[in-house]
A and B are shown apart, each in its own frame.
Chain A
């Protein structure tokens, strides 16, 4: 057609149709809206944010922003230790983090990568004040005014021009560190002239002011700043040219500069705190994991790790997750297989019995559904344990000696048996609904054409029931691969699944990033299998009812 079709009023027919359908679509959307919103809020958003944690790695950069910057150019192969700048940046970063009590959290995070960093951070956090005091005490001795918050406030606060950029920067720094709002009123703004003259001191003082005002709700004008401003000031004074400065406290600054007060050597100070700071390990770990997004959790999830030299396997004694993944998939396949073998005859019977008997049988199939999962699993514990029902019967019959009772629980056998039982209805029901649609006349036709009972079943009935097997298998496999409660209760150590490990990292080790990565891999594995199934069998052939 050369021209577009026009509706009676001359507008495009397509647009006309779209307008007519819009109301219908809108109404349909409104009908599903409550559920959609519910699912979005309670399901999709939490899952999305949880999955996001598997790559999210802002904590290092948020807690140690200046250290990460200073370490950017450091090459561990060329110089044994990072430059002193890095130690200095580390001091100021850590000082703020320790005051905000965030340094231990970072220690825990880095401990996932390198064991020992957690205690290193915790212990070092306590000693930072001592390092600051190396500068603070002489300054105070020189002029007691430095011990007064008012002195510092007068020096730092705006007179003519405020350094808004520095203020915004420090607000963001504190916000990133504490995960809290920092937009509140501070009653302070760094003076632009001082910020140029004494950059480090201005930075640290501003950070402190933002912190006390927004996090503690105090007025910085009346409070004494943290000791860390002293080393910052003395470092600035080593190079500052005060000749042109005539603002407040100019005399005190000149006196302090002339006194040439001591500043700690940060490298020595850190090594004094803990000799581990004198090795490459902590610095390399920080450098390696400083990016905002990381594949590190995914590497951990497959028993690998990120090192300064690239990707490497975890040490042998920490490798467990690949084994668990393989075991989870292998056991899920076994469970799926035994469900098919046990479920197919039942489904066939259900589909071919007269209505009344089929309904009775269906109730028997569904009965387990109405019993709590925990009860069923516990029942299996009673059945399978060494002093349990099955062993007792076997001993009583004489098949098994009393001292040779079978171990059927807290291993893979127990997990497979109880999960097969629990998941069986999920296999039977889709099979049943497919088999119900296969008319008996197909089998009759096959037999009338000369096929034996077996040939008629295998060549005519079975191929038509495959969609049911497929649907049941997908359902059982996907449920099995993420099963948690049953392996936890009857699985012991050899029969646990990857989901038990995820639960461990969520609730015990609190390594949520790794848990999220494991979950993401599990989800991806299911999707890949689903896709493969679609390619091979065709998802249109799957009938769930």
Chain B
């Protein structure tokens, strides 16, 4: 799972560990390497160590063990203010006693940049987030979205090469969040900034990032581009955490190349693709996305196994239909179908046959 450090790596974590109390490791053996210009998201449930990693990178926490390098230079002993890393905080952290312009001017002032230069840079940064008209306002006079735009502009105004964002959109409503997601990615790409973005919102992670690092239990569980993460989760934590998933428990019956057969707990046999299972008789958790389940036998392989499923609930959601079924004793098996003119709407009580392509069903660790 660990990327091998490459020559062009811009940000590197090497065997980094962190403990607050000397008893429990919050971050366990973290290895990560980012090329310049990448937008990397650290995604994970709370307490998974992602924010700690960000804080170590920013310099507010020191690594208990290991090396963190920025552009090839170890930054373990460099204080935060000398690292030149831009940072956007969850609660914006705009200085309430300064106007918007003063807030933006602050990083330039401490860098002893001349007044006219400063004003020009401030206006340019405000222009990037379309907030030129708000230069004279105080943060308290702005809405949450506007404050976050200013916080973003402040983190960019001194032209850092690396920007860290700690759940910056966590406090905003859905619509605003989507707009800002788009704006942040656009800015990051336009300016060629390397970005580390921390969030617990998987949609955000999938839509914004070049690569996503899924954190759990102090480790990176999987580091991959969004599509790979969604379609090819490497273990059951990632499969569960990213997107919606149906899981069935069973035992490996036989393995043949990149397909295998799994005997479910009720005795029925299904096809799957072995991911991190290796031997027959191993306990496994198979995972299949709701939109990859087929009810139309003609679209499956002729020798594909099918399962009897009883419809429990049909929910109309506009663009899709969501049907809850009982499959092999599991009452929470969900399938999603597109709202097309010829799509059947199942009524509760009906029994249907369902099946899937073997490569869509991943046999993972139990």
Cα–Cα, bound, A232→B158 (Å) = 101
Q: Is B84 close to A, CB under 8 A?
A: yes
Q: What is the bound-complex CA distance between A441 and B58, given in angstroms?
A: 12
Query: What is the bound-complex CA distance between A394 and B333, given in angstroms?
Result: 84
Question: At the interface, yes or no: B111 with Cβ under 8 Å from chain A?
Answer: yes
Contacting B58 at CB < 8 Å: which of A446, A448, A463?
Answer: A448
Interface: A449 (CB within 8 A): yes
Tell me if B96 and A441 are in contact (CB < 8 A): no
Within 8 A of A (CB), among B109-164: 110-111, 154-155, 158, 164
A439 to B59 alpha-carbon distance, docked (Å) = 18
Question: From DSSP, what is the main secondary structure of chain A's interface residues?
Answer: helix
Which of these, B79, B97, B154, contacts A449 with CB under 8 Å? B154
A486 CB → nearest B CB, Å: 36
- Inter-chain CA distance A456–B106, complex, in Å, is 10
Binary contact track A456-492/B, C-beta < 8 Å → 1, others 0? 1001100110000000000000000000000000000
Interface pair A448/B95, CB less than 8 Å apart: no
Task: Return B91 CB to nearest CB of chain A, in Å.
Answer: 6
Contact B111 A450 (CB under 8 A): yes
- Within the complex, what minimum Cβ distance (angstroms) separates B344 from chain A? 53
Interface contact B93-A450, CB-CB below 8 Å: no
CB <8 Å contact, B95 and A442: yes
Residue of B nearest to A461 (CB): B95
Nearest-neighbor residue (CB-CB) of B83 within chain A: A448
- Number of contacting residues on B, CB 8 A? 28
Query: Does B345 lie at the interface of the complex (its beta carbon under 8 Å from any beta carbon of A)?
Result: no
Q: Which residues of chain A come closer than 8 Å to B107, judged between CB atoms? A: 449-451
In the assembled complex, B290 has its CB within 8 A of some CB on chain A: no
A464 CA / B93 CA spacing, docked (Å) = 13
The answer to the question of A376 belonging to the interface, with a C-beta cut-off of 8 Å to chain B, is no
Q: Are B110 and A450 in contact (CB under 8 A)?
A: yes
Asked whether B93 lies within 8 Å of A445 as measured between CB atoms, the reply is yes
Known: A442-B93, A445-B93, A446-B106. Contact between A451 and B87, CB under 8 A?
no
Count of chain A residues near B, Cβ 8 A:
19
| Shortest Cβ gap from B92 to chain A (Å) | 9
Closest chain B residue to A449 by CB distance?
B107
How would residues 426 to 458 of chain A score, 1 for a CB under 8 Å from any chain B CB and 0 otherwise?
000000000000010110111111111101100
B85 within 8 Å of A (CB atoms): yes
Instruction: Give Cα A371 to B66, complex, Å.
Output: 53
Q: Would you call B80 and A444 a contact (CB within 8 A)?
A: yes
Min CB distance A468 to B, Å, is 13
Q: Select which of A441, A451, A453, A464 is within 8 A of B106 by beta carbon.
A: A451
Most buried by A among B83, B84, B87: B87
Residues A460 and B95 in contact in the complex (CB < 8 Å), given A441-B89, A449-B154: yes
- The answer, yes or no, to whether B86 is at the interface (CB within 8 Å) is yes
Is B308 an interface position by the 8 A CB rule?
Answer: no
Contacts of B95 in A (CB 8 A): 442, 445-446, 460, 464
In this complex, the member of A439, A460, A464 whose beta carbon has the largest number of chain B beta carbons within 10 angstroms is: A460
Check if A447 sits within 8 Å of B81, measured CB to CB: yes
Q: What is the minimal beta-carbon distance from A443 to any residue of chain B, in angstroms? A: 9
Residues of B within 8 A of A447 (CB): 59-60, 79-81
Which residue of chain A has the shortest Cβ distance to B151 in the bound complex? A445
Q: Which residues of chain B come closer than 8 Å to A445, judged between CB atoms? A: 87, 89, 93-95
Contact pick for B93, options A439, A455, A459, CB 8 Å:
A439
- Distance in Å: Cβ of A53 to nearest Cβ of chain B: 46
On chain A, the residues within 8 Å of B97 by CB distance are: 463-464
A93 and B34 CA atoms in complex are apart in Å by 105
CA separation between A337 and B87, bound complex, in Å? 38
Contacts of B84 in A (CB 8 A): 450
Residues of B within 8 A of A442 (CB): 93, 95
Beta-carbon contact of A451 and B91 below 8 Å: no
A96 to chain B, nearest CB (A): 70
CA distance A441 to B151 in the complex (A): 12
Is B80 touching A448 in the complex (CB atoms < 8 A)? yes
Q: Tell me whether B110 and A441 are in contact (CB under 8 A).
A: no
Tell me the nearest residue of chain A to B89, going by C-beta. Answer: A441
The answer to whether A448 and B87 have CB atoms under 8 Å apart is yes
Chain A interface residues toward B at CB < 8 A: 439, 441-442, 444-453, 455-456, 459-460, 463-464
**Besides A444-B80, A448-B83, A448-B86, 12 other CB < 8 A contacts?**
A441-B91, A442-B95, A444-B58, A445-B87, A447-B80, A447-B81, A448-B81, A451-B107, A452-B110, A453-B81, A460-B95, A464-B97
Top 9 closest pairs, chain A to chain B, by CB: A449-B107, A445-B93, A448-B87, A441-B93, A447-B80, A463-B97, A447-B81, A451-B110, A450-B110
Residues of B within 8 A of A (CB): 58-60, 79-87, 89-91, 93-97, 106-107, 110-111, 154-155, 158, 164
In the assembled complex, 30 residue pairs joining A and B whose CB atoms fall closer than 8 Å, in A order, are: A441-B90, A442-B93, A444-B58, A444-B87, A444-B93, A445-B93, A445-B94, A445-B95, A447-B60, A447-B80, A447-B81, A448-B58, A448-B80, A448-B86, A449-B87, A449-B154, A450-B82, A450-B107, A450-B158, A451-B81, A451-B106, A451-B107, A451-B110, A453-B81, A456-B81, A459-B106, A460-B95, A463-B97, A464-B96, A464-B97
